[in-house]
Structure 1
């Protein structure tokens, strides 16, 4: 299957992503084979409050990127259905115009209870799209405000999308979101309050500590394409800045370190639960009764599972 993914066979890519999402045993070997062919795609994350028009903006960016010949991957992370675990919003419907374009691959993913806005398998899905030859991967996350901070660990450039008319910009975009933004897009900029929103954002950004990069604020109207070229230019400037300063390499290294730890923690947790048997219920009861502290119970659990130092 890896050869078919590398040749950008859409059926093979879809199957590979399904294996990765489901944690199928075949996914590990597939990702191992694909890994030498990754590292070339540039990942742009888009996040922001609900109603900001992120999906429409993604669609406009795809059109712009395709016009210059780039192969584009889109990963749209949706809230999970509490019953099926599947994505609710169906971003493939939003991007239906690209369904017959072999240069665009769109995938919706469910968060499945993962913290923040990203599904646990997002990094591996991006890796599959990278291996299939996507020059750019657009990563759209659930518009849940502060919980979106984890997008910074998955993207090379983070675009925070704001919109006029959602109330006070300070309240809509909390400090944590402001600090992860590399570029701001004020979408729906044909609304009356657009200029005020742009001015508020620029004023807020002046309060942040200097970092060597000042996030630009770009006004866009995704439905007409207005400002989308300027937004893409801002992303390209940020990419060039990171490449010349060495920050892109450092950012990607940090991402890999976090991913290694996440995988290791998941494996250790699974191994611990497999070895502990009924001990966990017993220890929980003793903590609830006041006989043990949670730390004491954890140490006993590790000792019984032979994982203690």
Structure 2
């Protein structure tokens, strides 16, 4: 068993080993996470999401710099797509952040999605806990390039940035449901390319029409350029303002409670699914039952109901 006390004391090698164990779903993972959990809850988690090529990695890089200038210890989880053919991942986001490699107060971990949908890797939420216990006061999660339905980041981050670029396509995309509704801050990146007025107008009109944004926090729409270093200070201020607002309004605590309820039910579902598979495979009549369904002598709906009832009776 890895030493959690070393993790809490800020030992980088221990943090890396624990994250590797979690990613590989190694033995003792649940017990280890249970020991880590009491040391979490201090970090501000910032999610950065958007379509491929929006400049998420470059934006992450400049936010690391801002955080370090403000004496924060920073953790970064950069998620890259996994090849459906080879199973490998390029993990190119780490290449863009090489200048922070020697900073002992910056921990960067690249992860492949490993077939997980939603723009994140399956182990992301547990890796965030490790970095939190490790002492990171700012944790940045950069999602894989996403479309309109990869919304998992909203269940992981305290502040979600949706990164867009001018001239990247039909502006009607900005009023579609999905990823546009999870933003706490809209970032029009690569503003040095020009043509930002139209997309800003479209987003503001979308916010005006959405009932969700009529009260409480209204996401600001900010322009940034990593090339010209424009808008970075304003973005950093907006991130801190959002955290302050949600903390004072109680929205942050409510979001954490919702996040934990979802996580607990996911763990229950996973445990229950594993037990159901074991029970099904140990059922001597399983093969015969499957053949009966193939021959249409019975149906999966009826048999699923019977199966669950029998499982519950045995539990009792």
TM-score by length of 1: 0.93
Q: 1:293 to 1:115 in 2, by over 3 A?
A: farther
* Unaligned 5+ runs, structure 1: none
Aligned residue for 2:177?
Answer: 175
Aligned residue for 1:249?
Answer: 253
Cα deviation 1:61-111 (Å, max 9, x = unaligned): 101111111011111111112255443333211111111001111111122
Q: Aligned partners of 2:184, 2:23: CA distance in 1, in Å?
A: 28
Query: Is the contact made by 2:67 and 2:74 (CA closer than 8 Å) also made in structure 1?
Result: yes
Between 1:132-141 and 1:115-124, the stretch displaced more is 115-124
Q: Aligned partners of 2:232, 2:291: CA distance in 1, in Å?
A: 57
Q: CA deviation at 1:172?
A: 6.0
Between 1:57-66 and 1:75-84, the stretch displaced more is 75-84
Query: Is the contact made by 2:191 and 2:225 (CA closer than 8 Å) also made in structure 1?
Result: yes
Between 1:29-38 and 1:296-305, the stretch displaced more is 296-305
Give the number of the structure whose alpha-carbon radius of gyration is greater.
Answer: 2
Query: Is the contact made by 1:123 and 1:154 (CA closer than 8 Å) also made in structure 2?
Result: yes
Cα deviation 1:137-184 (Å, max 9, x = unaligned): 111111221232111011111110000121123326732112111100
Between 1:251-260 and 1:278-287, the stretch displaced more is 278-287
Alignment of 1:64-103 (within 5 A): 64-83=66-85, 85-103=87-105
Match status 1:300 vs 2:306: yes
Between 1:282-291 and 1:162-171, the stretch displaced more is 282-291
Between 1:170-179 and 1:237-246, the stretch displaced more is 170-179
Between 1:180-189 and 1:287-296, the stretch displaced more is 287-296
- SS of equivalent to 2:178: helix
Q: CA deviation at 1:191?
A: 1.1
Q: Over aligned residues, Cα RMSD in angstroms?
A: 2.0
Match status 1:233 vs 2:237: yes
Aligned residue for 2:44?
Answer: 42
Aligned residue for 1:57?
Answer: 59
Q: Write out the 4+ residue segments of structure 1 that deviate beyond 6 Å after TM superposition.
A: none
Corresponding pairs, count? 309
Q: 1:231 to 1:249 in 2, by over 3 A?
A: same
Aligned residue for 1:258?
Answer: 262
Q: Aligned partners of 2:220, 2:185: CA distance in 1, in Å?
A: 5
Aligned residue for 1:268?
Answer: 272
